[in-house]
Structure 1
Amino acid sequence: MGRVVVTATTSHRRAMRTIVDALVQRGHEVELITGLEPPTGRALVDQHRRLCRLLAESGEPTVVVGDVAFQGTLPLSYGAPGPKPSALILVGTEPFSLSSIDTAPAGLGLPPDRTAAGRERNRRAYEYVRDALGGVQEEFVEAMRSVGVTHDPLPFVLDAPILAADRFLQLSVEELSYRRSDTPSHVRFVGALPSTRIDGDVVISDGTFDTVQRALRQAKPLVLTGRSADQLESNTRAAATGAALYLATDKPSEDDIKQAVRIVLSDPTYRGNAERLAAEYARLDALASITDAVESYLRH
């Protein structure tokens, strides 16, 4: 049947273990390796070498299922020497962030804009972000070259994982990631992993990606706070669906929260949009999509 290697960063270990359990239940031999975050050049090299040693241990066909944040899988797709898997399937455990002509870079909290002026705004924003992350890009390129990567030029560090995959399975519905006219054909939005029930009629949160998805999957409208880069992006996307009210502050007052909850409860459009998204999540089966993808490559 072949085997499966699953990679996970520390912050996404629980999600990837859920995937491991589903694969084992389908009768697959699965090995899990983990790595630290945030990724650095040294971490990429160490992760890649560990993965290569594991791949070399068996001549069986092997599919790698990787957490998108585990960068040690990337040299396999960009020309590094060494054993190659039958396929690299990456799982989007974080908000989808591939560069697009229709959206600004993730982290800026800007809504998409497909107009000519908007696409010019987006282009300039990507230039700004790539310049700001120039040092990170240099470290990424240096690490990739150190393990024998020959591909030139290498993609932008934040795009590289999505572009590297034979199949990229994003844990989300497409609307929560903004619909983009240039999304590659190997990208699929597969919904969310199973989660525990959330009590209450409205979810109040500082806006982690996991919490937003859990709430929407259960048709719960949200009141969101927080302005870190991750919160700003995730909360702006949630608000754009019409299922969340976003208080763009790190320190909302108690009165602010109460008023926001009253608005969400009294305006039926919030719940209606949450129910619409819940229906989309219900139509999708993330674990089945991932295991089916693995098995399609092992059959080749």
Structure 2
Amino acid sequence: MKILIAATPLTGHINPLLAVGRAAAARGDDVLVLSDALFREKIEAAGLRFTAYADNGSATFRETGLPAGPERYRREFQRRFIDPMPGQAEVLRGLIADEAPDVIVAGSLFLGVLPLLLDAAPRPPIVTVNVSFLFLDRPDHAPVGLGLPPARDRAERIRYAALKAGMDAAFTNPVRAYTDGELARLGLPPLPASLPHSIVVLPDLFLQPTVPGFEYDYGTLPPGLRFIGLLQPPTPPAPLPDWWPDLEAANAAGKPVVLVTQGTLANADFGELVEPALAALADRDDRLVLATTGGRPVAALRGPIPANTRVASFLPFRDLLPRVSVLVTNGGYGSVSQALAAGVPIVSAGLTEDKAEVNARVGWSGAGINLATNAPSPDDLREAVTRVLTEPTFRQRAGALQAAFASRDAMAGILTAVDDLARSGPVRSGGAGLAVPLARSA
């Protein structure tokens, strides 16, 4: 089978799809990965074929001329994900003609698949693998993006509806109109719903890498949506840090281990989370604190490293998380999912990108504490970590989610979905969320 993987050039987006590609290649499939040339070495090191499109720094674009708020987030989203869409679609069409893939597997923010999904022309089946929270429109009328838990009563639903009207005017509707304008220039129809909702309902299958217990109740779900559990990213080929024996000693002694991370994207300023977290826990000799700089140099941390702290640029989360007592994170979806799959409770603090929504689910699920800020104080972090370590309900709830994750084999689910769609052959889009199989030639 020939599989074309289309990945947004961000580490947190590449890694899950790289895991899919390696699993497919291991069973004999011919896998070609499309992303920016920055990831060529990483993808080819995984034994996969690679082809590039020019992202031109879109995925990492940051708007520095505006304060945090809807206008800044709208401009960033448009520049990062919508502006590359026409070029991505053109490259995809060329690869379909040249490579004749049986299935396309795309990350959820690789929007170059949308023109194919809205076009009436024949195409391969398309599977979208989400890399974030489930961003369907909500039945309680809460706006997507503000990090609001499910409404508890009618008064809250009314308040949410008012907030949604404001969010629609400032962000959702302009983003949809901007996307529709790009689609119109390609001679294609507009989106059937808001952009986030359309991303979920248009593909032939939409795979959500979590368990239902970490998602809100959306009522009737789209027919192509499947919860698949944890999509474990590959472990980086890096040696264990030289302080690893300190971790083993802490585990043997029953000493709590706190892991701190700002991920690989929103880590330009460690003063937002990592540094205040290290300061908050610096005087606790009864705890071992671990921190990762997400690929940045360890020297980027300002000030002396506390005596109870060990730092590394990268850490192997698959090996590390079973040894950790609590994760302190700004809310990267991959890190949160890996922690919960390992039964690790969480202290979260982050509002940028998708983090307000991810962290709201941390608090709502009962598996941790959401501080709901980009800049938590050392005092707040100290109190939250202490609560998560001493109040058993957080670990109990994280343990329940761990059991739910353990009951689902994400990779098997993905490969089964790919096989099922490949057997159906080429399809023709027949409307939002509908695809009509085409008869195979004899």
TM-score w.r.t. length of structure 2: 0.63
1:9 and 1:114 mapped to 2: Cα distance? 36
CA RMSD of aligned residues (A): 2.1
Q: Secondary structure at the match of 1:223?
A: strand
1:44 positional shift? 0.6
1:297 and 1:100 mapped to 2: Cα distance? 28
Specify the alignment match of 1:136 in structure 2: 175
Query: Residue type matched to 1:163 in 2?
Result: V
CA shift digits 1:79-109 (9 cap, x unpaired)? 254x511x11101111111112135122211
| Alpha carbons 2:141, 2:164 under 8 Å: kept | no
Specify the alignment match of 2:281 in structure 1: none
Distance 1:202 1:296, change over 3 A: same
| Alpha carbons 1:39, 1:71 under 8 Å: kept | no
After the TM superposition, which of the residue ranges 38-47 and 159-168 deviates more from structure 2? 38-47
| Alpha carbons 1:202, 1:222 under 8 Å: kept | yes
Specify the alignment match of 2:380 in structure 1: 256
After the TM superposition, which of the residue ranges 212-221 and 72-81 deviates more from structure 2? 72-81
CA shift digits 1:212-234 (9 cap, x unpaired)? 11111100111122333532221
After the TM superposition, which of the residue ranges 121-130 and 95-104 deviates more from structure 2? 121-130
| Alpha carbons 2:89, 2:115 under 8 Å: kept | yes
1:127 to 148, 154, 165: 165
Specify the alignment match of 1:236 in structure 2: 360
Specify the alignment match of 1:51 in structure 2: 92
Q: Secondary structure at the match of 1:203?
A: strand
1:153 and 1:164 mapped to 2: Cα distance? 9
Query: Residue type matched to 2:111 in 1?
Result: Q
1:246 positional shift? 1.8
Distance 1:253 1:122, change over 3 A: closer
1:286 positional shift? 1.3
After the TM superposition, which of the residue ranges 250-259 and 179-188 deviates more from structure 2? 250-259
Q: Are 2:6 and 1:7 aligned?
A: yes
2:403 and 2:188 mapped to 1: Cα distance? 43
The aligned runs of 1:155-166 (5 Å cut-off) are 155-166=193-204
Query: Residue type matched to 1:48 in 2?
Result: A
1:113 positional shift? 2.2
Q: Secondary structure at the match of 1:24?
A: helix
| Alpha carbons 2:180, 2:191 under 8 Å: kept | no
1:8 positional shift? 0.4
Query: Residue type matched to 1:53 in 2?
Result: G
The aligned runs of 1:1-300 (5 Å cut-off) are 2-11=1-10, 12-34=13-35, 36=55, 37=59, 38-58=79-99, 60=100, 62-79=102-119, 81=121, 83-85=122-124, 87-102=125-140, 104-113=142-151, 115-133=153-171, 134-150=173-189, 152=190, 154-194=192-232, 196-197=318-319, 198=321, 199-228=323-352, 230-300=354-424
1:74 positional shift? 0.7
1:271 and 1:42 mapped to 2: Cα distance? 42
1:39 and 1:252 mapped to 2: Cα distance? 27
1:120 positional shift? 4.0
2:412 and 2:357 mapped to 1: Cα distance? 28
Unaligned runs of 5+ in 1: none
CA shift digits 1:112-165 (9 cap, x unpaired)? 127544444444443332221233222201111222213x56421222211111
2:191 and 2:207 mapped to 1: Cα distance? 25
1:50 and 1:229 mapped to 2: Cα distance? 27
| Alpha carbons 2:4, 2:103 under 8 Å: kept | yes
After the TM superposition, which of the residue ranges 4-13 and 155-164 deviates more from structure 2? 155-164
Distance 1:103 1:239, change over 3 A: farther
| Alpha carbons 1:243, 1:271 under 8 Å: kept | yes
Which structure ranks higher in relative contact order (CA pairs < 8 Å, sequence separation ≥ 6)?
Answer: 1
TM-score w.r.t. length of structure 1: 0.90
Distance 1:80 1:298, change over 3 A: closer
| Alpha carbons 2:82, 2:111 under 8 Å: kept | no
Structure with greater Cα Rg: 2
Distance 1:276 1:69, change over 3 A: same
2:232 and 2:3 mapped to 1: Cα distance? 21
| Alpha carbons 1:103, 1:112 under 8 Å: kept | no
Distance 1:179 1:41, change over 3 A: closer
Instruction: List 4+ stretches of structure 1 deviating above 6 A.
Output: none
2:191 and 2:397 mapped to 1: Cα distance? 42
Q: Secondary structure at the match of 1:4?
A: strand
| Alpha carbons 2:176, 2:191 under 8 Å: kept | no
After the TM superposition, which of the residue ranges 117-126 and 210-219 deviates more from structure 2? 117-126
| Alpha carbons 1:108, 1:229 under 8 Å: kept | no
2:352 and 2:110 mapped to 1: Cα distance? 22
1:106 and 1:260 mapped to 2: Cα distance? 26
Query: Residue type matched to 2:109 in 1?
Result: A
Q: Secondary structure at the match of 1:181?
A: coil
Q: Secondary structure at the match of 1:9?
A: coil
1:261 and 1:136 mapped to 2: Cα distance? 38
